[in-house]
Amino acid sequence: MDINLSTGEIAFRNEVRAFLQDKLPPQVKSGAAGSPSVFVEPEIGQTWNAVLHKQGWLGYQWPVEYGGTGWSAVQRYIFEKECALAGAPNLTVLGLKLVAPAIWTFGTEEQKRRYLPRILTGDDYWCQGFSEPGSGSDLASLQCRALRVSDAGGDRYILNGSKIWTTHAHHANRMFCLVRTDATARKQAGISFLLVDMNQPGITVRPILTMAGDHEVNQVFLEDVVVPVEDRLGDEGAGWTIAKFLLENERGGSCHAPKLSFDLDRLEQAAQSEPDGRGGTMAGDHQWRRKLARARLSAQALEMIELKIVSEIAKGRPPGPQTSLTKLLASNLRQEIDLLAVDLYGAGGLQLDLERPLYGADAPAPVHSRDAQLAAPRYLNSRAWTIFGGTNEVQAQIIAKSVLGL
């Protein structure tokens, strides 16, 4: 595997760096730095999306024909890495990186024409309705029923059931949703993939507040919700195939290591002035530094694996089950780094404000410092990393079966 950048790729990296230097708005950067949750609030995320869209870079993973950049796998990695190193917010993945590739891969021409541009312009904000109470890891057991009705009112599905842990459902106007269209078929075969309009009667979004105090996730109740048949993606019963495609995109092909390294840099810098309680600073605390060094090595090893996946994709091969490995490693490391921050700030890192946001003029005052104020909510919020997108145990099983052949 050759991980050296070509002259063209170095020029591209410099172009991205110059753009970020010039165009990343300070309030977006400070909003990203002050958000303990994985997803930044739409006011931050959508502002950044609009800047990228203006530049023509928002669809940085999209084919040119749908308004994307058509960049190579290496260019995409460079872009994500430079964004992370510049402190840009995580992009709102649900529309951009999850449902969009499913639409251009499995959708009709009409669905592509209708939905893809609206993701880039920000007119549609998507959420993901897969998990249900009792159906998370065993997703194929999902129960949300979609009954097909064809009469003078049109050819449509009527949905009844509930989705849970639905990230940003309270902001979304569209939900991509797995439903059971055939209760008699083998459980995977009876599932279909629907594109649901959230702005209709019968949909109730109930907030779930996390222990960190963030409102990121919800339970969504569906009562006689109507979805026209033309808003089904793929064939009836093909939902499981589309979901597997989408989950592979969710778990990997992405760039976690640079963001993790960026956070380690910030901690290392903060340690220079953080008192150790013995007259020195935490930069001289050997035990803490040892943990920092171990996390750094893990981040570097993770970046090597991510680059290996990029090089596979560049050769036209699918990322495959290695994405489970990067999801597993990145999740563990995320939690390790957030624990390092709590250790670094000591008592100052135990402040737990439940008000949001923790950035901007209305943020509650920090007891110690802004960074210390974020340590506890970040630590608590990042417990979710080893759960969402498939738990660690589930990833380990995929690796055991598909990679190790056990």
Ligand X SMILES: Cc1cc2nc3c(=O)[nH]c(=O)nc-3n(C[C@H](O)[C@H](O)[C@H](O)COP(=O)(O)OP(=O)(O)OC[C@H]3O[C@@H](n4cnc5c(N)ncnc54)[C@H](O)[C@@H]3O)c2cc1C
Q: Which is nearer to ligand X, 39 or 288 (CB)?
A: 39
Q: Does 86 bind ligand X (CB under 6 A)?
A: no
Q: Any idea of the CA torsion for 150, 152, 155, 160, to the nearest 10 degrees?
A: -70
* Catalytic residue list contains 250: yes
User: Considering the complex, what minimum distance in angstroms separates the CB of residue 38 from ligand X?
Assistant: 7
Among residues 41, 80, 132, 250, which one is catalytic? Answer: 250
Q: Do 290 and 329 contact (CB within 8 A), yes or no? A: no
Q: Does 342 bind ligand X (CB under 6 A)?
A: no
Query: Least distance (Å) from ligand X to the CB of residue 366?
Result: 25
Task: Number of residues interacting with ligand X: please give it, by CB under 6 A.
Answer: 20
Locate tokens 């990322």: which residue?
319
Minimum gap (Å) between residue 347 Cβ and ligand X: 28
Quick check: 165 binds ligand X (CB under 6 A)? yes
- Estimate to the nearest angstrom the gap between the alpha carbon of 21 and the chain centroid: 24
- Does position 391 bind ligand X by CB under 6 A? yes
Of 132 and 303, which has the nearer Cβ to ligand X? 132
Could you say which of 14, 393, 400, 401 contacts ligand X (CB under 6 A)?
393
- Cα(182)–Cα(239) distance, integer angstroms: 11
Q: Does 209 bind ligand X (CB under 6 A)?
A: no
CB 219 within 8 A of CB 161: no
137 binds ligand X (CB under 6 A): yes
DSSP letter at 173 equals S
257 near ligand X, rule: CB under 6 A: no
Q: Does 387 bind ligand X (CB under 6 A)?
A: yes
Closest alpha carbon to 176 in 195, 156, 161: 195
CA dihedral 264, 266, 270, 272 (to 10 degrees): 70
The pattern of x and - marking residues 217 through 256 that bind ligand X according to CB under 6 A reads x---------------------------------------
Query: Taking contact as CB under 6 A, which single stretch among the options 80-88, 130-138, 143-151, 245-253 is the one that binds ligand X?
Result: 130-138
Nearest distance from residue 151's CB to ligand X, in Å?
31
Q: Which residues contact 299 (CB under 8 A, 6 or more apart)?
A: 257, 260, 261, 264, 333
Burial of 347 (0-12, 13-18, 19+ CB in 10 A): exposed
Residue 101 or 129 with smaller CB distance to ligand X: 129
Using CB under 6 A, which of the segments 80-88, 227-235, 251-259, 393-401 binds ligand X? Answer: 393-401
Count the Cβ atoms, other than its own, within 10 Å of residue 149: 13
Q: Determine the angle formed by the axes of helices 257-271 and 322-345, rounding to 10 degrees.
A: 10
Among 45, 89, 101, 136, binds ligand X (CB under 6 A): 136
Per-residue tokens: 35: 């958000």
Residues annotated as catalytic (active site), given as ranges: 250
Q: Which residues bind ligand X (CB under 6 A)?
A: 127-131, 136-137, 165-167, 216-217, 384, 387-388, 390-391, 393-394, 397
